[in-house]
Structure 1
Amino acid sequence: MRVLGIDPGSNCTGYGIVESGRNTLKSIHWGSIKSKSRTPFPDRLKTIYDDLTRVIGEYKPEIVAIEDLFFAVNAQSTIKLGQTRGVALLAAVNASLTVAEYTPLEVKLSIVGYGRADKNQVRDMVTTLLRLKEKPEPLDASDALAVAICHLHNHGTSNRLKEALSSRR
């Protein structure tokens, strides 16, 4: 299964494609969509949408996993993050892809085993889990890879549970 993980941000949106094989995880590609804070916000949203649409077309993921909102103290930042997530969701749905959403806590627990892990700890575990020779940069890209891995962990557990339940019948 090939998963596109997205870590939305209005200044930097990270993305990462991870593929699962027989008990293996493989990084296919990662990167970020950066924009200058001086760029009008609607133009930044268009850039994020266009670039994610290009990534989806090029790497053909089967599902998109996106980090869910966390509530920040700054209402303006929360609103912009919500709009950025909306654009990412639209890119996925317009490509007829299923979307899975995970909170930052769920991602950190799945990757590091600790819900308050910092971005560097997440990046270190992503590097280990994917057997990468270099640490993914920027941190938004490693967070996106973590979201994809989180989905693959959850999807695998869910499938094993279904198999176990069906075999008991």
Structure 2
Amino acid sequence: MAKILDRLLLFIYSISVGAISAAVILLISGVLPYELNYQQEQNVIVAAVVAAAILFILSLRFFYISVRRDRASLPSVDQRTEYGDVQISMETIENLCLKATSRFRGVRDVKARIRVVESGLEIMIRAVVDGETPIPTLTSDLQKAIHDHVQEITGIPVSFVTVYIANVTQSPNYKSRVE
């Protein structure tokens, strides 16, 4: 209900600001002539103060909405246990994936991306390897290690792990020195 009200207020606010801006531009440019007597000036001033106060209050509301932290918008995986609810952030699961890959020599620049599906977690790993270890063996071991580590630590089923080898690092060239 609050989101619908906020959207309605934002609509009214944007229409009001647009109309006031257009009127001011037309008055300043001289397209709309204005000559008012004293009573009309007083009415215009009162209307302008009321409109400015309403727009100021709406501005404060929208400022508050823009800076508040909404807990519901933080990406997480929610689980219900017999004792209550548990939320595990996606960042936590990504860090668990990175921890599992750090145990492998020759794997560098690892990035993890997590997606929640009905069957569990889909984990996509992007890495650069050194080229010393056979890639099929390395990726298979990586997949199993990440799958087991994340599933064991979080208790969330992992449906599959995809490993993408982006590149092979170049080993530094050492010039042999002959004496």
TM more than 0.5: no
TM-score range, shorter chain: under 0.3
Larger radius of gyration: 2
TM-score (norm 1): 0.24
